[in-house]
C-alpha cells in the first residue's frame, strides 16, 4: 500500500450542501495534490499544496478550497455542491515539488450528490 489514507470512503450529500474530505499523506511528504475523477475519465487536477501553501490550481471554481496541516494531513472543502460534483476524489502525496517526483495516491473518497 501507498501509506496515503483518505476518509470517508463514501459520502452522499444533497445539492447546496458543503463537504470536507480528508487525506493523510506519507510521513515526510511535503506536497499533496487533489484530483477529481469522474466515471470513465482520468483524474482532473484540482490544486496542490506544498508546506501548507497553495502551489498550483486547475480549472476549478473557488468553491473548491483546501488546507494542508503540518502533520501531513490535508482537507478538500467543497461548498454549494452541484450534481456534477459527484465523482471519486483522490489525494496524492509526494516528497517535494520536482516534476519528476512520484505521486502516491490514496484510495479515494466517492462522493455522490443528489
Least distance (Å) between residue 83 CB and other proteins: 21
Site residues for other proteins per CB under 8 A: 2, 33, 35, 40-45, 48, 55-58, 90, 99-100, 102-103, 105-108
Does residue 68 contact residue 19 with C-beta atoms inside 8 Å?
A: no
16 or 56, CB closer to other proteins? Answer: 56
> How far apart, in whole angstroms, are the C-alpha atoms of residue 24 and residue 105?
10
Q: Which residues pair with 74 in a beta bridge?
A: 23, 68
12 or 80, CB closer to other proteins? Answer: 12
Least distance (Å) between residue 4 CB and other proteins: 8
15 or 43, CB closer to other proteins? Answer: 43
Least distance (Å) between residue 15 CB and other proteins: 25
Burial of 15 (0-12, 13-18, 19+ CB in 10 A): exposed
Give the CA angle between residues 94, 113, 56 to the nearest 5°: 30
Amino acid at each position: 500500500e501507498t501509506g496515503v489514507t483518505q476518509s470517508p470512503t463514501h459520502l452522499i450529500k444533497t445539492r447546496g450542501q458543503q463537504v470536507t474530505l480528508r487525506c493523510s499523506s506519507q510521513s515526510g511528504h511535503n506536497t499533496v495534490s487533489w484530483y477529481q475523477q469522474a466515471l470513465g475519465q482520468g483524474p482532473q487536477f484540482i490544486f496542490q499544496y506544498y508546506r501548507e501553501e497553495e502551489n498550483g490550481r486547475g480549472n476549478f471554481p473557488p468553491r473548491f478550497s483546501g488546507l494542508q496541516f503540518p502533520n501531513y494531513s490535508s482537507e478538500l472543502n467543497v461548498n454549494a455542491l452541484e450534481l456534477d460534483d459527484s465523482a471519486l476524489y483522490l489525494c496524492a502525496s509526494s516528497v517535494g515539488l520536482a516534476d519528476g517526483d512520484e505521486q502516491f495516491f490514496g484510495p479515494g473518497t466517492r462522493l455522490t450528490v443528489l
